[in-house]
Structure 1
């Protein structure tokens, strides 16, 4: 990231900032990071985010380039869109207002950010971010100045922010051949048209009230389409590998008037709950339902990136208020996550295939081995290499113990799934 910084000193401070994000500091704000890094005061950390001269947009492109370079050779790559938030008190922070916050599961006061994850079966990391700023903050020049919002920033909806992220990825050649997102992005026709114009396939979640054209001039709701056009033989049970075993659902797809557009429906095998996806397959790609299923399931890793980013790297820990400072903290957190995620993905390729049960009544063998190194373990090993409080053997013993315990937990989760399948008609 050196080329993104005008001077050597801010670059060195950014290195300290990223290293402390990978530390075991429980709350990763300016004061705690500065103290843990050995600074005499938080001034340098705060200046790095608020006033230092460096290009955070270029830094985000560098992080994205690093992730893409390391993970692009996977058999399937998906740009997974989603948003995540940080609760805030008051309205003195850029982007803060009362809105639905996924992190809280309710209407709360906070800042929402649209993210894109570069998701593959072997690893994933965040590669794009745009902060959602409401109308009223942008329409008031005085408030813009107080919140540090640049005069050129215009209001963008969340789907439009996702469009901007993907447009940047198309421009720099890092855009995967597939995209996925939840209902916020699935119902945005302009975003879907952008993807189609660039021959990018997509599997976008939509609601039951989404209308698809099944005959010239005839559009029906998604739930009505399922009721009219599916029979028991329409459903296929497809399985996609997850950490705790196979994710098994019933899947069906319904053709539309376009030979390249489909409605993909997922059914939960226990509850019967339905989830709807509107899909597009570019002319250069074969029409296969299983490909759409795999793309749909690669939307989930972005939520895991949020969990890792917040729990281990302080993605939502910043206590800054200015727009630029918020975005800079996010970008540096993405850099820390990317380093650990890519390292974990590389370690996964050198780990033997997991031992899993094949029958519901099978008993576990005495030695199940160890799971591949996770993002959390990579972060702990980084701390072991840079800052050691206890003997190295003690830390490595705990790394081994956790991986062994997680392997056994995965084995039993998988066996439970096999037993549940016997009870599913």
Structure 2
């Protein structure tokens, strides 16, 4: 198959993919803007906001296309969940042909903002910047095999001051029935929805912003999912072979004591203290995957413990689970900690391999932001924010499904779609001159 045949085949598959997505939109007149918007997201270009995409997709009628795309993404009343459901139904089978689902990855991502009017914007931690700053934050759930991953749910986190401000909610079009939820609460709700939809379950992976939340971990166990979640060094744990004391003996008067106890000399310790007290022979060097230059390896230990968070309000100790620690050679203290409900007979190498699979979400967000334009939406409203994200995930889903068709040893070549030539006199708004250095064409293969 030559290059031209490859492009034509991708374009025909893309047309069929969009036709399937259109079944979730409710109106036939939305099919054209759906295809145009997803095409604009996949085409090369520095900005994936509405006007630059309109110019790339329909260079001969930029203004009309701009208006159509803007209405479709910012105003049109179609269901994000319905479209993402179709994306999931189309793309996950392609992923599972190359390997079974191993993990459900929970994460959040930040979008720096300068103003204060965009929905959900507040001064909060922004992962993209690595610090507290003015930004929006969205919570996502992705499904991962050993070879690829796909976001299947996505929701903006609405800070409490936003959720309780009726004027700002109305201006931004926040749904009336939406109440304040923490990020772990949003994630758990999305996980329950995915289970109800019949998505093949995997081990839940998450960073410490979720792992430190006892209600989140408990909720996962209650719905039958195992997890490997990062925790902070300060979390309190019972050391191996220890647990809370049983309730006090009953004196014969009043209600019998029912709560477990702690006392001086018999109390939980921090994750950091427990890790530092482990003997030298508890640590092993584990390699978990090949890096771009050298194999990725570090020192790890794992022991069975019981989490201790507020267990003095419980009538029985929490069940045992794994406590996994990474302490690289040469570091003065451990660098990462996880709790896991994987089976008791799980090997250390398997614990590490599962915990480290979370790196895939970083690749997802890198491509969604840098190539697909996830963070390029310039509107301020709830609907537009989510519609743009849904379409970005839909476009990314097509890219993921196309990659699943290509052998790993195949050369990295043909771009997915061809862009029409821009008119010579086209100038983006606010630009003094057109860019003279076009962005590298987006390929079907991972640009690793």
TM over 0.5: yes
Residues 147 and 321, structure 1, Cα contact 8 Å, conserved in 2: yes
Residues 200 and 282, structure 1, Cα contact 8 Å, conserved in 2: no
Task: Give the equivalent residue in structure 1 for 2:389.
Answer: 330
Distance 2:444 2:221 in 1: 45
1:238 to 264, 278, 286: 286
CA drift at 1:288 = 2.8
1:103 equivalent in alignment to 2:164 = no
Distance 1:351 1:334 in 2: 23
2:45 is paired with a residue whose SS is coil
CA drift at 1:339 = 1.3
Which string of whole-angstrom CA distances, capped at 9 and with x for unpartnered residues, describes residues 171-230 of structure 1? 1121522011111000111111121112211111111111122312142211111122x2
1:146 equivalent in alignment to 2:207 = no
Alignment of 1:32-71 (within 5 A): 32-38=52-58, 39-41=61-63, 42-71=66-95
Distance 1:312 1:182 in 2: 24
Task: Give the equivalent residue in structure 2 for 1:171.
Answer: 196
2:77 is paired with a residue whose SS is coil
1:305 to 356, 364, 381: 364
CA drift at 1:315 = 0.6
1:271 equivalent in alignment to 2:331 = yes
Task: Give the equivalent residue in structure 1 for 2:243.
Answer: 216
1:381 to 402, 415, 420: 415
1:294 equivalent in alignment to 2:321 = no
* Structure-2-length-normalised TM-score: 0.76
Alignment of 1:122-161 (within 5 A): 122-161=147-186
Q: CA RMSD in A?
A: 2.5
CA drift at 1:75 = 4.7
Residues 65 and 174, structure 1, Cα contact 8 Å, conserved in 2: no
CA drift at 1:109 = 1.1
Q: Judging changes above 3 Å, is the alpha-carbon distance between structure 1 residues 135 and 26 closer, same or farther for their aligned structure 2 residues?
A: same
Residues 6 and 53, structure 1, Cα contact 8 Å, conserved in 2: no
Q: Judging changes above 3 Å, is the alpha-carbon distance between structure 1 residues 237 and 346 closer, same or farther for their aligned structure 2 residues?
A: farther
Task: Give the equivalent residue in structure 2 for 1:420.
Answer: none
Distance 1:60 1:206 in 2: 30
Q: Which has the higher helix share?
A: 1
Distance 2:351 2:111 in 1: 32
Residues 122 and 345, structure 1, Cα contact 8 Å, conserved in 2: no
Structure 2: gaps of 5 or more residues: 1-20, 245-266, 307-317, 423-439
Which string of whole-angstrom CA distances, capped at 9 and with x for unpartnered residues, describes residues 46-94 of structure 1? 1111221321111122222333222235255111111111112211111
Q: Judging changes above 3 Å, is the alpha-carbon distance between structure 1 residues 282 and 49 closer, same or farther for their aligned structure 2 residues?
A: farther
Distance 1:213 1:66 in 2: 45
2:199 is paired with a residue whose SS is coil
1:382 is paired with a residue whose SS is coil
CA drift at 1:310 = 0.7
1:4 is paired with a residue whose SS is coil
Count of residue correspondences: 367
Residues 101 and 200, structure 2, Cα contact 8 Å, conserved in 1: no
Any runs of at least 4 consecutive aligned residues in structure 1 with deviations exceeding 6 A, and if so which?
Answer: none
Distance 1:119 1:93 in 2: 31
CA drift at 1:382 = 0.7
Distance 1:297 1:104 in 2: 22
Q: Which has the higher contact order (CA 8 A, sep 6+)?
A: 2
Q: Judging changes above 3 Å, is the alpha-carbon distance between structure 1 residues 247 and 76 closer, same or farther for their aligned structure 2 residues?
A: farther
CA drift at 1:246 = 1.9
Which string of whole-angstrom CA distances, capped at 9 and with x for unpartnered residues, describes residues 152-173 of structure 1? 1111111111112211111112
Distance 1:199 1:105 in 2: 34
